[in-house]
Each structure stands twice: as C-alpha cells, then as structure tokens.
Amino acid sequence: MGITTDRRREPGDQPKTGDQPEPARRGRRRPSWIVAGCFAVWTLERLAGVEQGSFDIQLMTLTPYAVVVTALLTVLFLFRNRRAALVTAVSCATLAATVAPRAIPPAAPAAAAAPGPVLRVLSVNLFGRADAAAVVRLVRAYDPDVFSALELTHREAAALDAAGLGALMPYRVLQAERDSAGSGLYGKHPLTELTGLFTVIGHNMPAATITLPGGTTAQVVAVHPHPPLGRRAEEWTASLEALPPPSPRVTRVLAGDFNASLDHRAFRDLLARGYVDAAEESGEGLVPTWPNGRAVPPFITIDHVLVDRRAAVGRTEILDVPGTDHRGVLAELRLPPAG
C-alpha cells in the first residue's frame, strides 16, 4: 500500500497564499466593476448627448475632470482588476478626445488674415454687486466695443456710471432689475435695440445692433438662461433652443452666462446651428469661469462668447472680476466683410 500525503483541511487551518476561494476574489473585484461601469455610462451619455434631468445635466459640466479621474482609476485597477482597467482606459481616451481640443490653440490667429473689422466683446455676470471701479478699469484696459452685463441691478448700473462707465461706453440698452433677472448691453459705438428677435426664456436678455466706424453692423444678445436646477432643467433647454440662429445678412454674437458648458447637448446643438465658441477657438476652452472669489476656485466653464462661424476669433481672455462669483470673458472677433 502506497503512502498518501493527502489530508483533509481542518477547520482551523489557514489557506495558503494565492489559494483564496473564487467568491472572495469576485467580491474584491465588484467595487472596481461598479466604478468602471459608472464612468462607462457617463462616457456613453456624453457621446450620445442623452443626459436627462437636473442631476445628469449638472454632472456633464464636470466631464473634463472625469478624464483625470478615469486615468487615475486605470492605473489603480491595473493592480486589482485588469478588465475593469480596460473599461476605464477606454472611457478616459474617449472623453479626452472630446475635451482636449478645447485647450489646443490654433497654429496662427485666424483673425489676422480675416478682412473685416474687429469687434471686441466683454461679458461679465456682475452678480448684482461686482466692484464697479474694477469693471471700469477692465473696460479701460481692454477697450471693448460692447459689454454684455448680466445680473445687472439698478444699484449696480448706477455704480458703474458713477465709476465712469458712461464716459467710456455712452450707448446702452439696459433691462436692469432689482434682482438677478436684470441684464444690459453697453456700447462704445451706437446701439439700436432689437425687439422680437427671439422668445426670451429666463432672465432678461436684451439684444441690440451695434454700428462700428465705417458702417459695419453686428447684432449682440446678452444671454442668461436660468440654471438647470430641479424643475428648471426643461426650461433651460428651451431657453437655449429659443436663442436666434446666425443670419446670412448680419453677424450675430451671443455673449453671457449660458449656465452651460461644451459638454451639454443643448449647448452643442446651439453651436451646430452655425456658431463657434470664442474660447474654444483660441485654445482657452478649458479655463473655468465659475465660481469665482470663493474658498473653492473656479472649476466649471459656463460663461461664453459665441459668434457666427463666418467670423474669425483672434484672442480670448478669461478675466477675474472682484465682487462677483463669475469670471469675465473678453473675445476679439474679426467680422466678415459686409455683403
């Protein structure tokens, strides 16, 4: 009879290293799959543009950070669950392909070769209490032709004039209010109010035609829909859909606080109608604009200047403005020649 070395494992015996039961391994891998699956769903929603409801819409604003998170998760999962790592790697690469182009400046400024006149546009959500003297200093320094002022209260409008804005930009189409609903357009050159251009949904959104020296005109809209919070998500979508499309007869500029980013389907649909985002065109599309002046630094990009794609974008600057929770956007646009 041969000698056998097999013996039954006693209840107190410890399993050898690498001899853990399969259910235990699966249990350790389950959190990896859950996390990887969540980011896979995020990626698919972003690609398909099917975000629904307030939470999903707000989550899309953080898509640039999902690129960083999925990259880190891929490294982590390589040591725990390689299949989950593959899922996060695909999510990372896919999201990066949508986000990275915003930070790539053009090889040469397109506006340099464009034949039309230059239109400089400044947009600031004043939050009803921006430092008026600081705003006027920005106007002096950057010399915009038109200034789109959001959350313009009567008190803020008076403070801006007291600080000297009236002398620099004497033309205006203002719809100031007692609260955040107010907006206005200030011009260095003559402004003519436009009415009936589109259905306003949200805060006040005045529109005007600016006439530049030489006679070239452009239409400018101060944009400020309500944020997509709670039940206002559908209203926010409707507001962006209601904005006027580009016109073959005149250059249109939409400038303001859209409460939307380039990762929102509704905002991309607006661009697809014939606009370009000035910051994206000049490689500044990932610079955040909100919140500003708080303990948390700006981390989302919701303030924009959009222009008819026939125009060329020279430069875009994102500016700090004391006293408000938004950063300003300055865009230098080269308009197409008249006719």
pLDDT digits (tens, 9 = 90+) for 203-220: 999 999 999 999 999 999
Taking the CB of residue 332, how many other CB atoms lie within 10 A of it? 22
pLDDT tens, residue by residue, 253-300: 999 999 999 999 999 999 999 999 999 999 999 999 999 999 999 999
Domain boundaries, the chain: 22-102, 111-334
Mean pLDDT of 101-128: 84
Q: What average pLDDT does the chain have?
A: 92
CA triplet 156, 151, 202: central angle to 5 degrees?
Answer: 150
Mean pLDDT of 29-50: 95
Which backbone phi and psi does 261 adopt, to 5 degrees?
-120, 175
Mean pLDDT of 94-107: 93
Helices 53-60 and 22-48 cross at an angle (nearest 10°) of 90
Q: Taking Cα atoms as reference points, which of 287, 280, 238 lies closest to residue 262? A: 280
Please state, in angstroms and rounded to a whole number, the distance separating the CA atoms of residues 321 and 325.
8
Please name the amino acid found at residue 227. P
* Chain center to CA of 274: 18
Mean pLDDT of 169-195: 98
Taking the CB of residue 209, how many other CB atoms lie within 10 A of it? 18
Please state, in angstroms and rounded to a whole number, the distance separating the CA atoms of residues 127 and 131.
10
Burial of 172 (0-12, 13-18, 19+ CB in 10 A): buried
Tokens of 196: 């009936």
66: helix, strand or coil: helix
* pLDDT at residue 3, rounded to an integer: 46
Tokens of 107: 């090889």
Q: Above 50 in pLDDT, residue 130?
A: yes
**Is the link from the previous residue into 291 a cis peptide, with omega within 30 of 0?**
yes
CA triplet 57, 60, 66: central angle to 5 degrees?
Answer: 155
Quickly state the pLDDT bin for 192 (edges 50, 70, 90): very high
List, as own/partner pairs, every contact residues 15-19 make where C-beta atoms lie below 8 angstroms and the sequence separation is at least 24, other chains included: none
Buried b (16+ CB within 10 A) or exposed e, 77-100: beeebeebbebbbbbbebbbebbe
* pLDDT at residue 337, rounded to an integer: 79
* Contact yes or no for 267/258 (Cβ under 8 A): yes
CATH tag for 111-334 (out of 3.40.50.300, 3.30.420.40, 3.60.10.10, 3.40.50.1360): 3.60.10.10
Tokens of 56: 């999903």
Taking the CB of residue 68, how many other CB atoms lie within 10 A of it? 13
Please state, in angstroms and rounded to a whole number, the distance separating the CA atoms of residues 91 and 150.
36
Mean pLDDT of 162-189: 98
